[in-house]
């Protein structure tokens, strides 16, 4: 466990210094190629857990330390051990002993080793009162930055607590069945035969009771099923594609929505993204599902002059870059890496993409604007601004009744998304 703690310390340190958790973990797996699956699981659990509950753990540690601790790595080691003591089933004495041993690997200072031991034992003695005191500040109670809490309270006054609590839960594993190859009922039976319980979230999304590695999903390599959040599975059906249409999936990587569109109809699909590495993931997904796109282009959606051939599209899916505030349960680092000022930067980028894509949409065509955000600056206010500038645009009603005004708030079954269908007339 000492090795996994030390690697997790390095990961948390890099993330809280500004790097994305996904990227840091990928680098970690490349650097430590001999790690067992059990060790990888522990490292992921420590890293995700500390970032998920960082607000609470940080408040507790600040109370215990009483004065600042200069050594960041020791600080993060203590956060990891507090997470273990609160959220794992390991015996407390094992966590304390292993953490003290890990501290000896980080620094050659007996005072620090003694401090680590004292802090953790004090936590165990005062656990109940510390948990109460940590919740006196909202950052400790909700484990989100204060600006984030305040904004959600202002914009979603009736639901902000539900959103914050959903953000701190482990994400569900949702499946999208490729109905070109197998029915949902038949695939659910296949899951059952392989000892995997599932339930229907809505007509086309299955939720696994217990997450598994994709290799264990029956027929995964044959293209029977894809892993895709249940909320994200609304996108392709909402666009209303039909056989023979010219369709653009802008900002498409890693390709979940692209492949869903191809499952729904025989279309001429152009896939666009400005990230070559992530486009490689799109090609992998297409290959696994035995599908092909008309064109795959690495370019900026906001700069059509660099790539557009002048032929109009019947449908455009615009899943634009955003704060990702609706997918925090999957990416807990987001809430600590984002700044409130980032929302305006995203809004400018989103408007630029929307305006550019609108030029490429045929008359009587439709564009689906999508974000995985819960902040109105990226959602309703964006659409309001766009409509003021484009008299040839109107909002089409969405077919799903649960998408009230386009906003799908995160809960225990799905992430948070915003959808608006724009009709060009």
The per-residue pLDDT for 156 is 97
The per-residue pLDDT for 203 is 78
Q: Quick check: is 329 catalytic? A: no
> Are the C-beta atoms of residues 366 and 396 closer than 8 Å to each other?
yes
The per-residue pLDDT for 204 is 79
pLDDT in tens, the chain (425 residues): 889 999 999 999 999 999 999 999 999 999 998 999 899 999 999 999 999 999 999 999 999 998 888 899 999 999 999 999 999 989 999 999 999 999 999 998 899 999 999 999 999 999 999 999 999 999 999 999 999 999 999 999 999 999 999 999 999 999 999 999 999 999 999 999 999 999 998 877 999 999 999 999 999 999 999 999 999 999 999 999 999 999 999 999 999 999 999 999 999 999 999 999 999 999 999 999 999 999 999 999 999 999 999 999 999 999 999 999 999 999 999 999 999 999 999 999 999 999 999 999 999 999 999 999 999 999 999 999 999 999 999 999 997 767 768 999 999 899 999 999 999 99
The per-residue pLDDT for 1 is 80
Domains of the chain, earliest start first? 2-137 (1.10.940.10), 173-227 (3.30.70.1170), 232-424 (3.40.50.150)
Q: What angle do CA 225, 299, 279 make, to 5 degrees?
A: 25
* Catalytic choice (28, 251, 329, 372): 372
Is the pTM higher than 0.85? The answer reads: yes
The per-residue pLDDT for 399 is 78
The per-residue pLDDT for 2 is 87
The per-residue pLDDT for 190 is 97
The per-residue pLDDT for 67 is 82
């Amino acid at each position: 466990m000492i090795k996994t703690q030390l690697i997790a310390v390095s990961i948390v340190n890099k993330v809280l210094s500004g790097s994305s958790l996904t990227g840091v973990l990928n680098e970690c797996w490349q650097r430590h190629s001999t790690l067992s699956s059990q060790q990888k699981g522990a490292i992921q659990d420590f890293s995700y857990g500390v970032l998920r509950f960082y607000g609470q753990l940080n408040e507790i540690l600040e109370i215990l330390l009483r004065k600042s601790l200069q050594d960041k790595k020791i600080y993060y080691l203590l956060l990891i051990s507090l997470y273990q003591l609160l959220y794992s089933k390991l015996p407390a004495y094992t966590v304390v002993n292993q953490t003290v041993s890990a501290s000896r690997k980080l620094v050659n200072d007996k005072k620090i080793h003694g401090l680590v031991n004292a802090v953790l034992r004090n936590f165990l003695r005062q656990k109940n009162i510390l948990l109460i005191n940590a919740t006196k500040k909202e950052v400790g109670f909700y484990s989100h930055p204060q600006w984030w809490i305040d904004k959600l309270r202002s914009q979603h006054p009736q639901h902000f607590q539900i959103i914050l609590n959903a953000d701190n839960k482990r994400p569900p594993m949702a499946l999208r069945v490729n109905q070109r190859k197998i029915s949902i009922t038949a695939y659910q039976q296949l899951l059952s035969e392989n000892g995997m319980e599932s339930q229907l979230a809505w007509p086309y999304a299955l939720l696994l009771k217990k997450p598994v590695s994709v290799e264990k999903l029956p027929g995964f390599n044959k293209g029977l099923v894809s892993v895709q959040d249940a909320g994200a599975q609304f996108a392709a059906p909402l666009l209303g594609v039909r056989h023979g249409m010219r369709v653009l999936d802008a900002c498409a990587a890693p390709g979940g929505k692209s492949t869903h569109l191809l499952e729904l109809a025989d279309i001429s699909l152009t896939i666009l993204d400005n990230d070559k590495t992530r486009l490689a993931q799109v090609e992998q997904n297409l290959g696994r599902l035995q599908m092909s796109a008309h064109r795959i282009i690495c370019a900026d959606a906001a700069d059509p002059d660099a790539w557009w051939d002048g032929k109009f599209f019947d449908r455009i899916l615009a899943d634009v870059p955003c704060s990702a505030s609706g997918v925090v349960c999957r990416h807990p680092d987001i809430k600590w890496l984002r700044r409130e000022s980032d929302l305006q930067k995203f809004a400018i980028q989103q408007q630029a993409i929307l305006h550019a894509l609108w030029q490429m949409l045929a008359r009587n065509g439709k564009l689906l604007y999508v974000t995985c955000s819960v902040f109105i600056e990226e959602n309703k206010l964006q659409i309001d601004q766009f409509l003021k500038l484009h008299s040839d645009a109107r909002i089409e009603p969405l077919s799903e009744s649960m998408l009230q005004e386009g906003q799908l708030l995160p809960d225990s079954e799905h992430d948070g998304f915003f959808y608006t269908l724009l009709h060009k007339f």
